[in-house]
Amino acid sequence: METHDESHDTEVKSSTDVLLVDKKSASKPAVTPDLSVEIALSVERLKGEKVNCRRIYGDNYRCNWLALDGRSGQRGLSLALESYRVRDSKFLRVKKVGEQLVIEDVTVQESGTN
């Protein structure tokens, strides 16, 4: 009866089969703090509006301006909670210089059709 040890089949590997990564030498980009809360507190808003900001990546954020939805009263008396709708939405690129936020609106606007 012949026995075969399969472990010998996988022990030898050529140098092209293995990718070695030295994590110590790999440069990592500087981590910037999440400014979502500061942005939401600092942007202009209409009376009664809420602003939600979420970091997308790096210095880029998505901000939504939420207005109280007056139509919610038409849905029935069972909904006693306030409802909001998105009044405006923007992509912002934000950096903090000293203690001040530098906010750039990078929202792509649709061009009017002629």
CB 61 within 8 A of CB 33: no
Q: Where are the domains of the chain?
A: 32-105
Euclidean distance between CA atoms 37 and 106, whole angstroms: 19
Total-model pTM:
0.61
Rg (CA), the chain: 27
Tracing tokens 């999440």 back to the chain, one arrives at 34
Predicted confidence (pLDDT) at residue 67 exceeds the cutoff of 60: yes
- Hey, which residues does 92 pair with through a beta bridge? 61, 105
Q: Between residues 74 and 110, which one has the greater pLDDT?
A: 110
Model confidence band, residue 7 (pLDDT cutoffs 50, 70, 90):
very low
Model confidence band, residue 77 (pLDDT cutoffs 50, 70, 90):
low
Phi, psi of 100 (to 5 degrees): -110, 140
